[in-house]
Amino acid sequence: MLALTLALLLASASGETFPICFDPGNGLLLGAGPALQGGAVTPELQAGILLRTEWKSRSKGTPWLNTHRLFVTRVRSGTARLGLTATLYEGNLRRHLEEGFILVPTARPVRIPFPFDLTLAMRLGHYERRVWEGPGWTLETGRAALLLDPVRATTARVWLGVGPAASHALRSSREGMVHELSPFTTLLLDAGYETENGWWAARVTALAGWVVGLDGGMRFRTREEVVLERLLIAVNDQPVWLRLSAAHAHADAGGSRMDEWSAGLGLTVRVWSAR
């Protein structure tokens, strides 16, 4: 315990301790930096609440490793790419088992090894408004995915989930509003790695699959995003990371479902994220 305390806190020259370990999955998120989208560079601001929890299921007696992201909002200013992206809630809830298995309920139950953790990945209320495109917006009301995690880490800071996702979205444009549904016809990948001290953090999310309109028409689309962060400094014990990101959308960006590349470079602060 003493060694752990020493590892988390160091003493300054004046003898005061200061934190050197942070949790990138916790804290009040604030970020700023330039973003490149469609050949235009615009300033981007980011804010949100990150919360990482761990609790033991009463009914199953096994731990749930959860990462919640609330009200994560990105605003791009400038007339060229003025826009807003906001997510009410996004969460990864992973139930970790020492030894996963499939139970076949014969008279004498058979236990078949199943080397995966199960993750419930949810996203509620994801809204996007692109002012430069004119009237219109996109609202993903909900997305739920069941992911298999072969890494089965005992901590929430390492995860790799792949599995089918179902979603419903509304896409409003000049032509009107359409419903888009993905009845588990989308494959979602969500992977992340954060070092134990939180100095490095990386996250990859990708989805590919078909959405169906209420008119029965099907459409293929993909989305990918990579984020890499490196801790640079801490100001008054509040850590500041350098954030590098890249994203791509195929037939899914904006009201007209365009292909799109974007990239960002900025600084992010996670207030109250010291371990």
Residues that bind other proteins (CB under 8 A): 58-62, 95, 97-105, 109, 111, 114, 116-118, 120, 144, 146, 166, 168, 181, 183-184, 212, 214, 216
Q: How far is the CB of 181 from other proteins (least distance, A)?
A: 6
Any idea how long the chain is?
275
Instruction: Specify burial of residue 147 (Cβ count, 10 A radius: 0-12, 13-18, 19+).
Output: buried
Q: How far is the CB of 191 from other proteins (least distance, A)?
A: 20
Please say which residue, 73 or 141, places its beta carbon nearer to other proteins.
141
Strand 17-19, strand 27-37: pairing: unpaired
Please say which residue, 7 or 103, places its beta carbon nearer to other proteins.
103
- The H-assigned helical ranges of the chain are 2-8
Which two three-digit tokens encode residue 159?
Answer: 């995860």
Q: How far is the CB of 125 from other proteins (least distance, A)?
A: 14
Q: Which residues are within 8 A (CB) of 73 and not within 5 positions of it... i.e. 6 or more apart? A: 46, 47, 48, 84, 85, 86, 87
Please say which residue, 101 or 272, places its beta carbon nearer to other proteins.
101
Please say which residue, 139 or 227, places its beta carbon nearer to other proteins.
139
Q: How far is the CB of 148 from other proteins (least distance, A)?
A: 9
CA distance 240 to 218: 43
Please say which residue, 10 or 103, places its beta carbon nearer to other proteins.
103
Residue of 260, 193, 262 lying closest to 228 (CA atoms):
193
CA distance 193 to 17: 27
Please say which residue, 42 or 92, places its beta carbon nearer to other proteins.
92
CA distance 33 to 46: 9
Q: How far is the CB of 33 from other proteins (least distance, A)?
A: 38
Residue of 26, 25, 7 lying closest to 17 (CA atoms):
7
Q: How far is the CB of 100 from other proteins (least distance, A)?
A: 5
